[in-house]
A and B are shown apart, each in its own frame.
Chain A
Amino acid sequence: MKRLLKYLKPYTLSIVVIFVLVYVQVQTDLQLPDYMAKIINQGIIGKDTGLIWSTGGLMLLVSLLGAACTVAYGYIAVKVATGFSKTIREEVFSKVESFSLREFDKFSTASLITRSTNDIQQIQMVLVMVLRMVLSAPILGIGAIIKAYGKAPSMSWIIGLAVAVLFGMFIVLFTIAVPKFKLLQKMVDRLNLVTRENLTGLRVIRAFNTEEQEEVKFARANRDLTDLNLFVNRLMVIMQPMMIMILNVVSIMIVWVGAHEIGTGSLQIGDMIAFMQYAMQVIFAFLMISIIFILVPRASVSAQRVADVIDTEPLIRDPQEPKRYSPNVKGIVEFKNVTFSYPGAETPILKDVSFTAKAGETTAIIGSTGSGKSTVINLIPRFYDVTDGQVLIDGLDVRNVTKEDLCDKIGFVPQKGVLFTGTVDSNIKFGRPNATNAEIKKAAETAQAYDFIMELDGKFDTPIAQGGANVSGGQKQRLAIARAIIKKPEIYIFDDSFSALDFTTDAALREALSAETRNATVLIVAQRISTIMTADKIIVLDEGRVVGVGKHQDLLKTSPVYLEIATSQLSPEELAL
């Protein structure tokens, strides 16, 4: 919570003004019972109609003033709270955009999303509540206590008692209920889990005829949830009747004790009624304050999560004095004794990896799951930094140039075709914002996307839904490829990027691509031997080490690991090819 407070600094004046306005408003609230007492004591008992009118008029003016203050500070409070969260949101988002994959791993993408959205909403909501409603509570409470004490000091104990009883009730209820709330959440999650499993496993459940078994499982989760819900709700329905009851008993006590005071002549009737009002204000103020105890912990958890993001400095940053690439060298990727460990991992995922990929060549990396193939690729655009050794592009260490210069050289096609909300056009243009229509068309053609784009209702202007939900996996991959092609990069990186394409498209795409990438460096990561059999250079990875470099036919003879992979995937006939 504290770490975010500095973002409230620009609003210091506003908050001071809020305090002043709240103070005035509370004073008006506290005046009203006084006027009422006056009306009763002097107006009604004293039979002074004129006084009733004049005091009544004054009362209205005061209450209007109070309302004006409420509106004014409501306005400022809302502006402060929403402005504050706007700033925080921007801070968080910009910060996350500067993160490397290492920070993404640390927080996890899902958690970063929650922190940038829900957590900040939560903080905003609580801030509005606090500034707008809760801030006045202590002022009102103290003011009302002073006023009430002024009217009838001997009766103040009633207020104390009422507050104590109410708090006692809350404490008892919440100590029973709060652990149950947590449990309740678990049961809701459990029910969701069972339902989700039922839906995702529909075919398996039916295949194994286990519908009844699943229904029993669901019924158990449902029953558990219902039972606990019953308990918690039955407990919580006590609250309202109890509270009203306590407030009412307080009124009776005031009249009863007040009557004795009046009997001895130490209290006036109007003052007793005013005292009753003050008592209610005090209790109300205490209730508001108790809301803080519910709200603030909730918000402070969120605030902490948000502050954690803001306070994280990305480990990978641009160098102070970046070097510039010479325009003459193009597309040489060199790994020099690269070792890399993921944070917290016992053993490095890459050990002493060295190779060079040259322009005009296709370099393929193959290996089984966990051999470190994708890690090699992640080191090139500096998603991660090496633990040891060097990654050089065109002779310069990737750590010595700006990320922007580095990435300008790279055309990257991820495993899953990641698309963004927008249009077909805007997605392809993501690779080069100033591309002309002719270039877009050309890139789409090369990526074998042109035909299907023309079949879409809006052609290149067809909207793409969030996450590319409205195009198929194969279409996504082709658009992602077009996005990389249009950039005309020096280095192409394909991370297992052809898996969702059918054979004819695949073949056509490769042919078109090979013309496009003639002078570029092409790096391909693959699981399947057939994908990379014809590469100029194949690098075989096993448990993070390079265990073979060469062409397909050579590797079959020299690399046992390669041979093993090949035998597991290809038939003897093919091996002989």
Chain B
Amino acid sequence: MMSERKDTMAGKDNQGPQKPPAGGRGPGGGHFGPGAMMPGEKPKNFRRTMKTFISYLRPYWMAIIIVIVFAIASTVFAILSPKYLGKMTNQVVNDYVNMKTYDAVITQFPKGVKIPPGTTGADLLQTAPPALVKKIPADKLAAFRKLDLSKRPTIDYSKLLSLAYLLIGLYLLSALFSYIQGWIMTTVTQKISYTFRQNISAKINRMPLKYFDSRSFGDVLSRVTNDVDTISQTLNQGMTQIVTSVTMIIGILIMMLTISWQMTLVALLLIPLSFGFIGLMVKLSQKHFFAQQQTLGKLNGHVEEMYGGHNVVKVFNGEKKSIATFKAINSDLYESAWKSQFLSGLMMPIMNVFGNLGFVGVSVLGGWLAVKGTVNIGDIQAFIQYTRQFNQPVMQTANIANVLQSTAAAAERIFEFLAEEEEIPEADPPVKLESVKGSVEFDHVVFGYNPDQTIIKGFNASVKPGQRVAIVGPTGAGKTTMVNLLMRFYDVNGGSIKIDGVDIRDMRRADLRRLFGMVLQDTWLFNGTIKDNVAYGNIKASDEEITETAIAAHVDHFVRSLPNGYQMELNEEADNISQGEKQLMTIARAMLANPPMLILDEATSSVDTRTEMLIQQAMEKLMEGRTSFVIAHRLSTIIHADLILVMDDGNIVEQGKHSELLAKNGFYASLYNSQFTAPMVEG
């Protein structure tokens, strides 16, 4: 799963709308990229997904009808044109034959003989011996009868020209309709993609954190990008393709039949035959394509791992083994790659042979029929063009099921996401605290991330305004659970948390969160200027306020030494400033928001000592007079805390002051002893 979708961003640049031009065709057959052969992904519930999908299309029903009508119209014009091109050829042929006949007749007469105007072939035939007349074939005879012998016939250019005009008109109309259709469809597609993305983005903000904590954000990201892309691409082409293909098939069949049913039969006979072959190829190559995809994933995985752990490989002398593994995977890849590529490439020559087979069949039969006089050359020419055009829509129709399926699979993932459970609604009417004193009470709090796995079992505590609470425990003890509960990222399963006596579930989430300033170790800064990042919690803050806060949080000093100062852009990973500086900025950010209460996370090892001192000072300043919850790593913080909550395995196992807890000689005492007195122990 991971390896399939990992290339979310890396592979992007190959999937732009840029495509090589579709290309004309050699005798008999189009080109099919290997993509047409990839096994498609299947949706779980095709019908339901399509139903939802159609509801997204509904606002555009007018546009879609126009697209359908225009697509049909454009196709019809396109289908008509070979017929008229054939007519042009016929015209040339007939006139040419008449010319030849005239020349043949005239040379029989002695020189200087004037034929009176209005004399036709029919007049001449009356004087001719019946034996001679019998020799002339019926169709020629009819043409000859009408032939005016008084002047040498020429090719009727004016008639040709009017046919040419008609044709150009048809082509123009077809092109115009096709363009308009494409224009509208593109518009609809882009608008729908926009809506999808917008809905997903809005959805993210309405979902409980629980959802995101339990899966990788790459998964969500891939829905916004890959899945929406898949839909927009297939929608853009697929929709029109269905319409044009079906119209083409029907239209061409009709046109073929109007020319000659015998020739049509020959042409159609080849279709099941060629499809049988192609089906076989698809089946054969799919297996190898799948294997190729798998081995490629394996190969990429190995490369990523070996490069990522390069120094480990080196220091354990593992290069030889790593290269051997690589060679084995690489050989597998080679096998499946050449097989799948080769088999999928067989499609074109096979189509070619069948195309030419059809060509010969039509020529032979057409030639024979022409001799008999049932069809003429222009018709044969038109017919050949039709057979050429026939293959592609048939192929496309055959592929439609695949396209629909992978679209539906992508759509389904999006719909599933949009249908995920949202946060429970806000209290109605909500309680709003006017002036906050900052007392916090935990009243028989019961909580578990999974309903069947309770980790906090009836926790009671009461924090007075301005008090400092230290949360301690070994790594992974679930110290962030307290943050989650206080901020209502998660709701308690039982009991309640009260601020100034009000159950936090009776407040609007936004109002509650405004009460807390949050400084986490996981410093989240966004791609933007330093100033924007500091002002994040209070966009209305003036420049002076920002600078003042920055000075208080020890941010000002280092910012001024950076290029562009406050206007410096943080890059994507925000790694153009150090971890410690980031943490100082998050403190400034919280300070500027000026909340009555605080949740802090003390810095650990990734910060150098001097910066750490600055962070400590800034935090002290921030905590002055505010009720604070501190995830504590520093002994002094813990010792001076008004209340210590000791956590282990997600549960609060002990609480009290430092001296009380030490006296208890329980978990805290052992923790304290191992952490701060045992030899060679890390914080």
Contacts and interface: CB of A to CB of B under 8 A. Distances in A.
Interface string A373-396: 000001001010000000000000
Chain B interface, >50% SS class: helix
A208 B590 CA distance: 9
A503 B174 CA distance: 77
A179 interface: no
A59 B11 CA distance: 45
Contacts of B513: 206-209
A192 B9 contact: yes
B2 A71 contact: no
B311 interface: yes
A527 B605 contact: yes
A98 B172 contact: no
Contacts of B537: 208, 210
B272 to A, nearest CB: 19
A272 to B, nearest CB: 8
Interface string A396-416: 000000011001101010100
Given A44-B367, A404-B317, A226 B155 contact: no
A242 B18 CA distance: 17
B225 interface: yes
Contacts of B526: 197, 201
B164 A252 contact: yes
A237 B21 contact: no
B596 interface: no
Contacts of B191: 226
Contacts of A124: 337
Interface string B351-364: 01100110111011
B593 A208 contact: yes
Contact of B178 (A140, A240, A258): A240
Contact of B345 (A74, A230, A403, A568): A74
A412 B319 contact: no
B476 A263 contact: no
A303 to B, nearest CB: 16
A83 B334 contact: yes
A229 B232 CA distance: 11
A263 B95 CA distance: 9
Contact of A59 (B316, B360, B474): B360
Contacts of A208: 513, 536-537, 593
A43 B360 CA distance: 13
B24 A283 contact: yes
B451 interface: no
A203 B639 contact: no
Interface stretch (B47-55, B113-121, B322-330, B498-506): B322-330
Contacts of B348: 70
A507 B85 contact: no
B193 A568 contact: no
A196 B218 CA distance: 8
Contact of A403 (B22, B96, B314): B314
A505 to B, nearest CB: 9
A466 B305 contact: yes
Nearest to B193: A226
B12 interface: yes
Given A202-B212, A244-B78, A414 B312 contact: yes
A199 B217 contact: yes
B157 A39 contact: no
A472 B179 CA distance: 56
B399 interface: no
A29 interface: yes
B455 interface: no
B331 interface: yes
A529 to B, nearest CB: 9
B313 A97 contact: yes
A29 B613 contact: no
Contacts of A569: 609, 612, 634, 683
B353 A467 contact: no
A431 B316 CA distance: 6
A408 B315 CA distance: 8
Contacts of A112: 307
A525 B23 CA distance: 63
Contacts of A243: 21-22, 24
A239 B21 contact: yes
A519 interface: no
B330 A199 contact: no
B625 interface: no
Interface string B198-223: 10011011000100100001001100
A244 B175 contact: yes
B5 to A, nearest CB: 14
Given A124-B337, A291-B21, A433-B321, A198 B204 contact: yes
B338 interface: yes
A577 B677 contact: yes
A527 B12 CA distance: 40
B186 A233 contact: yes
Interface stretch (A48-56, A150-158, A438-446): A48-56
Residue from the set A96, A237, A283, A418 with the largest chain B CB neighbour count within 10 Å = A237
Contacts of B201: 195, 198, 215, 218-219, 222
B312 A262 contact: no
A67 B349 contact: yes
Nearest to A222: B197
Interface in A455-495: 466-467, 472, 474, 480, 483, 487
A132 interface: yes
Given A60-B356, A90-B330, A208-B593, A213 B539 contact: yes
Contacts of A94: 323
B89 interface: yes
A537 to B, nearest CB: 13
A151 to B, nearest CB: 15
A421 B21 contact: no
Nearest to A570: B635
B102 interface: no
Nearest to B9: A192
Interface in A149-199: 170, 177, 181, 184-185, 188-189, 191-193, 195-199
B175 A532 contact: no
Interface in A125-146: 128, 132-133, 140
Given A78-B338, A369-B578, A503-B675, A203 B520 contact: yes
Contacts of B96: 262-263, 269
Contacts of A239: 21-22
A503 B319 contact: no
A472 B23 CA distance: 54
A407 B25 CA distance: 61
A308 interface: no
A355 interface: no
B129 interface: no
A284 B23 CA distance: 6
A287 interface: yes
Q: Which 4 A-B pairs have the closest CB atoms?
A: A237-B182, A368-B608, A63-B356, A502-B474
Given A195-B220, A241-B175, 10 more contacts: A44-B380, A66-B349, A100-B314, A118-B10, A192-B224, A214-B205, A242-B175, A252-B167, A510-B679, A510-B680
24 contacts: A44-B367, A45-B377, A60-B357, A63-B353, A63-B357, A63-B360, A74-B346, A78-B338, A78-B345, A89-B330, A90-B330, A113-B300, A185-B13, A215-B205, A226-B194, A232-B17, A245-B174, A255-B89, A273-B381, A369-B607, A528-B682, A568-B613, A569-B683, A577-B677
